[in-house]
């Protein structure tokens, strides 16, 4: 009986470690990038490839890993569960960065073109530059952090296939970019709800700091609705297919987790942010594939 109890305890700890690794290691959040690209490809009827998706996954994974590693000591002061978990393996991060970077470079050499390389380098440079220099602009420019993050995600999500296949830009890509930008803007501002006190102490002008938790949630719900306007316009002008309107389901999903934030504390919000909020973007391809099949019928 004692050995069985020990086995179950080891099994529980292993599962908990795996859950924390996926959630706090950036692996779940990095899935957003290929999910955006798959969604854009479905809506615009563009082929996708495994190397393209791997490159798009490694790009945010490197940026997120650097961001988390850089902010460990700051976040741990706020009793962040993520920072506490990552602190235990901080000495391994240089090797992790090296592996990710080598893998990314190998894929770019084998499967990419110069336009794609320049695009990737610009995105990575922007991500690192933000963490080193630009982040302080949020002390002067309201929601700058959110706009910069949303801009980066939208550029990758909408234009990655364009650069990968050396395609020409058109109104459909602009519509995809606008939709992703507003959806991500809503999502990253939601993440700020759990960091109100820390951001206020740093003088950052985030939406929750300026409006308070309740005011920020009201704005998030309004933006949740407004974000679907680009797709509605796209369907109206025949720039995107009718099944794109199935994204309304995503609005209902976002409404749920934003509403849930009203009655949760900071620790619970961290869990909601790294699970329900991050999971929204993973649902995108599923929703669009189902909608496309149903419309096709």
Per-residue pLDDT of the chain (297 residues; tens, 9 = 90+): 555 555 455 555 566 666 666 666 677 778 889 999 999 999 999 988 999 999 999 988 887 777 666 665 565 555 466 666 666 666 777 787 788 889 999 999 998 888 999 999 898 888 778 877 777 788 888 889 889 989 999 999 999 999 999 899 999 999 999 999 999 999 989 888 887 887 888 888 889 889 988 899 999 999 999 999 999 999 999 999 999 999 999 999 999 888 888 877 766 776 667 678 878 888 999 999 999 998 865
Helix axes 171-191, 229-236, angle to 10 degrees: 160
Position 132 scores a pLDDT of: 75
Give residue 33's domain range: 2-296
Position 93 scores a pLDDT of: 73
Position 17 scores a pLDDT of: 63
Structure token pair of residue 188: 């990253």
Position 246 scores a pLDDT of: 92
Structure token pair of residue 130: 């933000």
CA angle 86, 92, 93 (to 5 degrees): 70
- How far is 206 from 196, CA to CA, in rounded Å? 8
- How far is 124 from 97, CA to CA, in rounded Å? 13
CB atoms within 10 A of CB 46: 17
Closest by Cα among 153, 211, 190 to 275? 190
Half-sphere exposure of 58 (CA within 13 A, CB side): 21
Position 130 scores a pLDDT of: 80
Matching residue, tokens 């610009």: 122
- How far is 143 from 135, CA to CA, in rounded Å? 11
Residue 164 maps to which CATH number? 1.20.120.1780
CB atoms within 10 A of CB 124: 18
Q: What is the DSSP string of the chain?
A: -HHHHHHHHHHHHHHHHHHHHHHHSSHHHHTHHHHHHHHHHHHHT----HHHHHHHHHHHHHHHHHHHHHTHHHHHTTT-HHHHHHHTTGGGHHHHHHHHHHHHHHHHHHH--HHHHHHHHHHHHHHHHHHHTGGGGGGTSTTHHHHHHHHHHHHHHHHHHHHHTTPPP-HHHHHHHHHHHHHHHHHHHHHGGGGHHHHHHHT---HHHHHHHHHHHHHHHHHHHHTTHHHHHHHHTTSS-GGGGGGHHHHHHHHHHHHHGGG--HHHHHHHIIIIIHHHHHHHHHHHHHHHHHHH-
Position 223 scores a pLDDT of: 94
- Give the total number of structural domains in the chain: 1
What's the predicted TM-score (pTM) here? Answer: 0.84
């Amino acid at each position: 009986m004692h050995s069985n109890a020990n086995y179950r305890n080891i099994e529980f700890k292993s599962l908990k470690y795996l859950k924390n690794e996926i959630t706090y290691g950036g692996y779940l959040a990095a899935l957003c990038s290929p999910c955006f690209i798959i969604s854009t490809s479905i809506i615009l009827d563009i082929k996708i490839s495994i190397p393209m998706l791997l490159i798009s996954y490694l790009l945010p994974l490197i940026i997120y890993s650097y961001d988390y590693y850089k902010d460990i000591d700051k976040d741990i002061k706020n009793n962040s569960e993520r920072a506490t978990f990552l602190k235990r393996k901080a000495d391994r991060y240089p090797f992790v960065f090296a592996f990710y970077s080598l893998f990314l470079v190998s894929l770019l050499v084998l499967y990419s073109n110069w336009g794609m390389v320049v695009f990737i380098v610009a995105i990575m440079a922007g991500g690192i530059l933000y963490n080193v220099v630009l982040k302080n602009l949020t002390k002067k420019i309201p929601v700058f952090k959110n706009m910069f993050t949303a801009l980066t995600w939208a550029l990758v999500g909408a234009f990655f296939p364009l650069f990968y296949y050396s395609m020409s830009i058109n109104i459909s890509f602009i519509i995809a970019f606008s939709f992703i930008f507003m959806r991500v803007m809503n999502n990253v501002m939601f993440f700020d709800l759990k960091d109100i006190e820390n951001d206020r102490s740093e003088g950052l002008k985030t939406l929750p700091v300026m409006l308070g938790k309740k005011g920020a949630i009201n704005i998030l719900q309004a933006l949740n609705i407004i974000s679907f306007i680009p797709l509605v316009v796209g369907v109206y002008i025949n720039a995107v297919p009718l099944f794109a309107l199935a994204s309304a389901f995503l609005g209902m999903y976002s409404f749920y987790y934003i509403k849930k934030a009203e009655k949760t504390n900071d620790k619970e919000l961290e869990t909601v942010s790294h699970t329900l909020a991050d999971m929204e973007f993973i649902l995108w391809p599923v929703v669009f594939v189902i909608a496309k099949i149903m419309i096709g019928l």
